[in-house]
Each structure stands twice: as C-alpha cells, then as structure tokens.
A and B are shown apart, each in its own frame.
Chain A
C-alpha cells in the first residue's frame, strides 16, 4: 500500500494545472519551427542535388525525345523515334552486350577474389594489416592512373609480353590489340581495381562474425569448410549485398578505362560499353538527342538490375 502511495505522490501534476507550463510552448507546437530550421539546413544540399542530378536527368529525358544536334539545328521533337532506333542499332546492342559481359566478370571475379583474400587476411598481425593497405591501394587511385599503368603492362611491347617472350613464348597474345581478348583485359583491369574494396567490406563482415559461433561449431565437430559454409558465409550476407550492388554499378558505368586504354577498339566497338557509346555518340557523332536516349536506357538498365539484385540479396539476408 505504501508503494502505491509513493507512486501517486510521484506522478507529476497535469500540465493544465501548472501555470508555468501554460507559458511554455508544447513540443507539438514547436515542431513546425524545428522542421523549418531543418529544411533551411537541408536547402543547400537539396538545391545542389536538384541542380546537378535531378535537372540533368530531366534534361536528358527531354533531349532523348528530340533530334538535338548542335551542328545541325533546329532541334525538333521526335517522340520515341530515338528509342526505336536504339533497338536496331548494332553498335548500341554490341555496347550493351559488352557492358553485360564486363559487369558479369567484374561482379563474380571481384566478389570471389575479395572473399578469398579477406579470409586469408583475417588475422590480427601487423603483416596482414599492412597487406590490407596494399590491396586497398588501387581503390583510391584514379581510374586514369590505373589505366595508364595497365596499358604499359598489356601493350604489345609491354611488361607482360616482354616477360612471356623472355620465357620463350614467341607470339604472345595481343592483350589490347586482339578484338577477341581486349574486352576481357578491360574486365580484368576493373576487377583488379575493385578487388580491394571487396576485401575491405568482406573483412569488416568477417570481423563481425562472433567467435563463439565458430567455436561452438568446432566443438560440434564442424571442419573448416563446414564452419565457413554454415556459420561464416551466412553472416557475410550484408557484405555480399554491398559488394554485389557496388560492382554491378561499377561494371555498368565502365568508361574511364575504355577511353584511356582502347578508345572502344580495337576496331569498331570491340570494347565499347554503354557509357562509352553515350559519350562517343554525343561528342564525336554530335547526336545529343540520340545519345540522351542511350543514357536514359542505361539509367533504366542500371536502376532495374540494381533494385532487383538488392531486393534478392536483402531477402537472403533476412532468411539467413
């Protein structure tokens, strides 16, 4: 009973009985002011986002419905004609195919390689800490720098072929000059560049796996492979999601390496990607309207694939 009295005594009085509370605005009445202040702080960011992202996207969508060519005015509205032309354009379809191949290779290789290396580096010694830095270095380097380095390695007179010749290979492959190989060389370069990113994300995931779980699995008689399959791999689901989505986006927007190393060649479109084709069509062919349609299709492809993959992988995370 005494406890109940205590509770009653400690219940605060109703606000409307407190004269002081009538002078103070309630939390609810202060909400608009808070929102207004928040909006003010968000305004520069929103303006920048609108100006540099939303407006260009809107302009691209608009141009894609025109025949805009700065060297062949006037600009006329052509409806969906550009999109219709894209369906029968062998150069665009080739670029789309190349983009899919590069994206698939980069997504699989960088994920697998990143996971293997992360597993090897998941040790708390100084050597392994230093090696993590080494693997991450390509991620922070400019794509152009990386492209120049790999161009020096892969050209006919480059480092790789010089080594191959030194060990007796008289006719080494044309890594960048053979149309049948160059696309895979480009995919490899992008994979190499992204490997460090995957390693770091997987390492973070590995360090989030509770040691107790692995130890419990060991006590239950699970070997290293079973422990990885049943304990570690399920716990890496969020890391897999992040890496896969990032690699998909990187693969789909591949441009820098192609521009620097092959210029879309050797030949007509052997390594041209969608992003490369957009720029070439706009600034070499001067067909801004048509290239805008390409860009719009590219945006739709990247967004659709990213959303689908994200959903699938996030569902897997929940199931795990």
Chain B
C-alpha cells in the first residue's frame, strides 16, 4: 500500500515537474529565440490577417524574437489585460491598452527619451513624466460624419459652424422625418455612445480648461460644476428633442456603423477611424465630415495621441520587447497598413500617408491639420491616457451613464453626481 502511494506521488511529481520544465523551455523558442506574447484586438478593420502581416514585418527587423499573438475576446483590451494580469499572465507586449493603473503599479516598463525620439509628441500620455505607451498615432474624436444626400434633401447647404447651427440642422432633418444622429452602444460596445459628450466636453469644458481632469484629480473641480453640467445637458437635450434615437442604444458598434450606412440617421459622431471604413466600403451616398461645433464657432479639435504598444515590466526580456514594440510602431509599412485599415493619423516624424487615400480620410486629416494650425487641439474626454485621465474603469462607467442620460433616467446633475461618486470609489 505504502509502495503504491509512493509510486503515485512520484508519478504525480514527475508529471508536474515535466510540466514546469516544459513551460520554462517555452519562453526560449527553438534556435535560441526569445518568445514574447503580444496582445492584440480584432475589429472588422483590423482583422487577423492584418495583425499577422504587421507582426511578421516587425519580427523581420528584430532578430531573436518569436511573437506569440494573443487576441482579446472583444475590443475591450484594457479590461482583458486586467484579467490576464490578475491571473499572473500579463502579456509581454500589449497593443492599445490604457496604461493608467498598470504604470503606477509598476507593471509596465517606461520608454526612454531616446527611444521616443522618433515620435512627434513624445510626451503624450505621460504618467509622472514617463511614457508607457508609444504615442504612435493621433485620432480626432469625434468627427461628425454626415450623409450629404440627407443634408441636401433637408435643404441644408452648409455644415454647421456653431452649436446653434447644429441644432438648426437637427431640426431641419427631424422635420423631414430623418433621425439627426445615429448612435450606438449595445452589448460590449457601450463606449460607442460617448462621442456627443466627448464633443460637448471639448467645446464647453476643455477649450477653457485644458487640464480639467488633472484639476478634478486634485479636487479643484467636480463633474457637478456648471461648465461640465452644461456640456452634459446638451446631450440630454439632443435626446429629449428626439435628435438621438434611444432605441439605437441596443446596436453594437458594427450595427451602428451599418445603421448610418443604411441611412437610419444623417450624422454619425465617431472617431476618425471611420474615415477609411467609409472610403474602403462606400455607402450608397457621399460622406462628408465636420468638427463638433462650439457655441461661438471658435474651433475646438478633441484628439487623442497614443494608442501604441506597451511593454510589461516583467517581460522575459524587457529591452528586447521594447525594441520589438518600437519596430512594430515605427515601421512605415505597418503605419501604412494602420492608415489604410483603421484611418489612423500616424504621429511619427517624417511619416506621410499613402497618396491614394480616399476623400473621407483626407477630409478627416484636414480637420486635424486645421486644429493644429488654429492651436485648438484639446483632449478627447474619456479617451485620455496619462496624468490627466479618468481613473481606471471610469470611462466604462461614464459610457453606461450616458445611456441613462439618453433614455432620460438621469438628469445632467445626476450624471455629474454619479461620476463624482464613481471617481471616489475608483480612487479609494
């Protein structure tokens, strides 16, 4: 009996030992190469073939690395990265994961000034002066994409320059039985409902107080303050007037885009990544683009710069992982692919997009370049990374609360109080 037990235990330990040995050997791929895990996310624009080709191009530039691709179950890569981290499996390299929280907890490795020398805005998204996510591209959030045919049929000849003109456009469209705004946010894509609010916060709050979120972190301002409440009230009013259809909140991101393509609304406030989608797969009407207008018509251009790769501080070989991450984000062909597939505006020194880009992408880049010329660039609310950003998890809460705002379950004041309460919980 004792012999049987001893045999059993020895067998068990042998099997366990073999398992551990195999796992350790797994990080050193064949031929002495280091295997690094790379977390990516797939969308209709950024599909599996896109990532495989981009990974292959970067790996060709960094010998000694084998990349094992991991794919998030949905587009919420930050949430998935947190789950992996909680189970002790934080990937070595991560694409477009918000570094807030990871960086402060020492889980991400900081890039040096020298490593960031090739980027236009090397300190974008810095946390305590250090950059944990490569600032490889800029996105304008939101751009108001619109159906030129629907505008023409409603007798609208010019795009709105002021917020009142935007309301007039909405009224004209509504009078023609056209829903002015297409908005989504169903299922896991709650984030897709944020963009009208991102627009109003930019024009009504950030244009006057660019570091508003930093001041919120310092306790100097609150979400219930009049200027923020005014921005929130604008969205509530759009819904109350029937300019946003609450039924659209059940639509996923893909369904929302399809609803705009199907003519179920005339305007689609979305991130600049929609531009290439509109160019590559043209709807049955011409698409135009204009920036979210401010009250007095002064230009305000909410943008996000960052979104690149991050490296885990506990990666098998941090220096090699950073080298590979830089190769991935600075590769010209990779950036061309990002531009063509996802409408990104690369923030890499000396980079020029392919000449054959479509009209919607060009109109979007014009909005960004005009913003640079006007010096009207501000942060895009809920998209920020770095010091002046929402605490981890609060952007998701805000997106859910926007649904309450649109369905009339929360007033602007209640929305602000809810965010203040959630802020307190997130930072305790």
Binding site for B on A (CB under 8 A): 32-33, 36-37, 39-40, 43-44, 47, 70-73, 151, 154-158, 174-179, 259-269, 280, 282-288
Taking a contact as CB atoms closer than 8 A, the residue among B102, B187, B401, B403 that contacts A71 in the complex is: B102
Q: Which residues of B225-247 are within 8 A (CB) of A?
A: 245-247
Q: In the complex, how many angstroms separate the beta carbon of A259 from the nearest chain B beta carbon?
A: 7
Chain B residues close to A by CB (< 8 Å):
1, 4-5, 8, 12, 79, 82-83, 85-86, 101-102, 104-105, 107, 185-190, 245-252, 255, 259, 262, 264, 392-393, 396-397, 400-401, 403-404, 407, 409-410, 418, 425-426
| Residues of chain A lying within 8 A (CB to CB) of residue B248 | 156, 177
Interface of B is mostly: helix
Question: Residues of A contacting B403 with CB < 8 Å?
Answer: 265-268
Residue from the set A39, A70, A267, A287 with the largest chain B CB neighbour count within 10 Å = A267
Closest-CB distance, A81 to chain B (whole angstroms): 11
A266 touching B396, Cβ below 8 Å? no
CB nearest neighbor in B for A172? B247
What is the CB-to-nearest-CB distance from B102 to chain A, in angstroms, rounded to a whole number? Answer: 7
Known: A179-B409, A268-B401, A286-B101. A156 touches B188 (CB 8 A): no
Q: How far is the CB of B399 from chain A (nearest CB, A)?
A: 9
A176's contact among B83, B190, B250, B393, by CB below 8 Å, is which?
Answer: B250
- Contact pick for A37, options B1, B188, B397, B409, CB 8 Å: B1
Report the Cα distance A298→B323, complex, angstroms: 46
**Which residues of the other chain, B, contact A287 by a CB distance below 8 angstroms?**
425
- Chain A residues lying within 8 Å of B247, measured Cβ to Cβ, are 156, 174, 177-178
Q: Chain A binding site: helix, strand, loop or mixed by DSSP?
A: loop
Is A156's CB under 8 angstroms from B250's CB? Answer: yes
Q: How far is the CA of A204 from the CA of B79 in the complex (A)?
A: 44
In the docked arrangement, what's the CA distance between A263 and B397, Å?
Answer: 11
CA distance A151 to B253 in the complex (A): 13
- Known: A71-B105, A263-B188, A286-B392. Is A175-B250 also a contact (CB below 8 A)? yes
Name which residue of chain A comes closest to B248, CB basis.
A156
Is A286 touching B407 in the complex (CB atoms < 8 A)? no
In the bound assembly, the distance between CA atoms of A37 and B3 in angstroms comes to 11
Residues of B close to A268: CB separation below 8 A: 397, 400-401, 403-404, 410, 418
Q: Which residue of B lies closest to A284 (CB)?
A: B393
Interchain CB contact under 8 A, A37 and B392: no
A285 and B425 contacting across the interface, CB-CB below 8 Å: yes
Q: Which residue of A lies closest to B409 (CB)?
A: A267
Residues of B within 8 A of A157 (CB): 251, 255, 259, 262, 264
Give Cα distance in the complex from A43 to B7, angstroms.
13
Inter-subunit contact B255/A155 (CB<8 Å)? yes
Residue of B nearest to A258 (CB): B187
- Apart from A37-B1, A286-B101, what 11 extra A-B contacts exist at CB < 8 Å? A36-B1, A40-B8, A70-B107, A151-B250, A155-B251, A156-B247, A177-B249, A177-B250, A268-B400, A283-B86, A285-B392
Please name all residues of chain B whose beta carbon is closer than 8 Å to the beta carbon of A265 when the two chains form the complex.
185, 190, 249, 400, 403
